[in-house]
Amino acid sequence: MKTASRLDRIPPYLFAEIDRRRDEAVARGVDIINMGIGDPDKPTPEIVVEAMHRAIDDPATHNYPPYKGTRAYREAAANWFERRFGVGGWDPDTQVISSIGSKEAIHNTFLAFVDPGDLTLIPDPAYPVYRTATIFAGGEYYTLPLLAENQFLPDLEAIPAAVADRAKLLWLNYPNNPTGGIAPLEFFERVVHFAKKHDILVCHDNAYSEMAYDGYRPPSILQVPGAKDVAIEFLSCSKAYNMTGWRIGFVIGNQTGISGLGQVKTNIDSGAFKAIQQAAIAAFSLSDERLEELMTVYQNRRNIVVEGLRSLGWPIVAPRATLYVWAAIPRSFDSSLAFVSALLDKCGIIVPPGNGYGEHGEGFFRIALTVPDERMREAIHRMEAASIRYDA
Ligand SMILES: *Cc1c(COP(=O)(O)O)cnc(C)c1O
């Protein structure tokens, strides 16, 4: 039996070697500190869990949901968005749609807009779904390098006009996974101008919209005047509200973008469980104070990692957003893979190599702020004890 050739086109799984070494270490009884996964370790806020209990007891939630989300959910999402970003006037019927987590909606947007041979513009390094979804849709991707010297923003001027004219979709993600980079509104203004000029749908993955520190509030691309003409934005309850397992989010913006995605979704899934939509409505009502409390946990961990790495010689700028610290590997290591292998073998620490997110991630590694403070400190102590330091 032969699987479809599209599966052969998926790039090799770069974490396979790391996974193998991890399994060996666990078998040897090593006390592993896993800072590899961007999955919050804290529970979902109580008011969300309580709303779920009430919703699931109501038989009205048990049948098929409307495929684009309940009216109440789409209204709550649009209201949350207006309160958060100061941009309103959304039609919940045509400009907002529920998602079964952003990953689903991201993938299905490619199916809605990419024909075989079509071109997508995707960042590198990046969340791997943009690449694999292009492949599943039969398209081709053109990568936009995210470089430290450009604050991890793509250089739009460097995209050849012929490439820009051929492209159907431009994917962006700020605050950025894996680099922790952030985008000023002025950058989004240039993106909107670029998209209008080349007739491109901009897809902004704003999965970390609420995960910011030191008082920073990440913008929405839809705050740019005229962005509705060319952009859709993907918001998710997963990371901010410790709800990765619930699978709920929404997409908002350009009507053609939303209806294209909706058409794919009606033919593939049957919407998100209505009880989960009610729970998400409760998450949207979380107070700013409660959200800040949730974020303080990560801000403290970020401080521990940044100060710890600095004490070991790393010249590191504290990220103002996301769940990640993105750091260069010491020069004495040949590759990201060699460095993360040493961290695992000598310190029992698991972090992904930067090249797992694309070739421009080579030379970096990513630390996820998803283990408790004392484990983060322990990780720094182990590095110190193993004489793992940054050397320029
Ligand atoms: C985690 C993550 C997602 C997926 O979020 P879900 O809503 O849980 O599917 C999407 N994009 C980026 C960049 C992420 O890091």
With bands split at pLDDT 50, 70 and 90, how would you rate the model's confidence at 11?
confident
- Which residue type does 90 have? W
Q: Which two tokens stand for residue 217?
A: 């509030």
* Interval 59-108: pLDDT, tens: 999 999 999 999 999 999 999 999 999 999 999 999 999 999 999 999 99
Give one word for 128, left, alpha or beta, with left for phi > 0 and alpha for psi -120 to 50: alpha
For residue 104, report the distance from its CA to the centre of ligand 1, in Å: 9
With bands split at pLDDT 50, 70 and 90, how would you rate the model's confidence at 18?
confident
With bands split at pLDDT 50, 70 and 90, how would you rate the model's confidence at 22?
confident
| pLDDT exceeds 90 at position 169 | yes
Where do we find the tokens 């800040």?
Answer: 292
13 is in an annotated binding site: yes
With bands split at pLDDT 50, 70 and 90, how would you rate the model's confidence at 21?
confident
For residue 103, report the distance from its CA to the centre of ligand 1, in Å: 6
With bands split at pLDDT 50, 70 and 90, how would you rate the model's confidence at 37?
confident
Query: Which residue's CA is the nearest one to ligand 1's atom 14?
Result: 207
For residue 235, report the distance from its CA to the centre of ligand 1, in Å: 9
For residue 165, report the distance from its CA to the centre of ligand 1, in Å: 28
Beta carbon of 173 within 6 Å of any ligand 1 atom: yes
User: What count of other Cβ atoms lies within 10 Å of the Cβ of residue 174?
Assistant: 27
Q: CB–CB of 125/361 below 8 Å?
A: yes
Beta carbon of 249 within 6 Å of any ligand 1 atom: yes
For 125, phi then psi, to 5°, come to: -75, 160
State the angle between helix axes of 274-284 and 46-56 in degrees (0 to 180), rounded to the nearest 10: 150
For residue 379, report the distance from its CA to the centre of ligand 1, in Å: 26
* Interval 273-308: pLDDT, tens: 999 999 999 999 999 999 999 999 999 999 999 999
Average pLDDT on 252-278 reads 97
* d(C-alpha 187, C-alpha 177), whole Å: 17
Instruction: For domain 5-43+289-385, say whether CATH 3.40.50.1820 is its number.
Output: no
226 is in an annotated binding site: no
With bands split at pLDDT 50, 70 and 90, how would you rate the model's confidence at 14?
low
Predicted pLDDT of residue 353: 94
| pLDDT exceeds 80 at position 382 | yes
**Alpha-carbon distances of 267 from 67, 127, 138, 263, 271, rounded to whole Å:** 9, 25, 19, 7, 10
For residue 71, report the distance from its CA to the centre of ligand 1, in Å: 24
| pLDDT exceeds 70 at position 268 | yes
Beta carbon of 242 within 6 Å of any ligand 1 atom: no
Q: CB–CB of 259/67 below 8 Å?
A: no
* d(C-alpha 353, C-alpha 332), whole Å: 16
With bands split at pLDDT 50, 70 and 90, how would you rate the model's confidence at 13?
confident
**Alpha-carbon distances of 59 from 143, 149, 291, rounded to whole Å:** 48, 55, 31
Across the chain, the runs of DSSP E, i.e. the strands, are: 33-34, 96-99, 119-124, 140-145, 167-172, 201-205, 231-236, 249-253, 324-328, 349-350, 364-368
Beta carbon of 366 within 6 Å of any ligand 1 atom: no
* Interval 125-139: pLDDT, tens: 999 999 999 999 999
Q: Which stretch of 32-36, 48-52, 280-284 has the lowest confidence by average pLDDT?
A: 32-36
Where do we find the tokens 């292009």?
Answer: 134
User: Minimal CA–CA distance to 376: which of 300, 295, 319, 266?
Assistant: 300
Whole-model pTM?
A: 0.96
Average pLDDT on 337-354 reads 95
Predicted pLDDT of residue 251: 98
| pLDDT exceeds 90 at position 112 | yes
* d(C-alpha 383, C-alpha 224), whole Å: 44
130 is in an annotated binding site: no
| pLDDT exceeds 90 at position 12 | no
Please tell me if the domain spanning 5-43+289-385 has the same topology as the one spanning 46-284. no
Query: Which residue's CA is the nearest one to ligand 1's atom 2?
Result: 207
Beta carbon of 361 within 6 Å of any ligand 1 atom: no
The residue extents of the domains of the chain are: 5-43+289-385, 46-284
347 is in an annotated binding site: no
Predicted pLDDT of residue 237: 98
Among 3.40.190.10, 3.10.20.30, 3.40.50.2000, 3.40.640.10, what is the CATH number of 46-284?
3.40.640.10
Average pLDDT on 332-360 reads 95
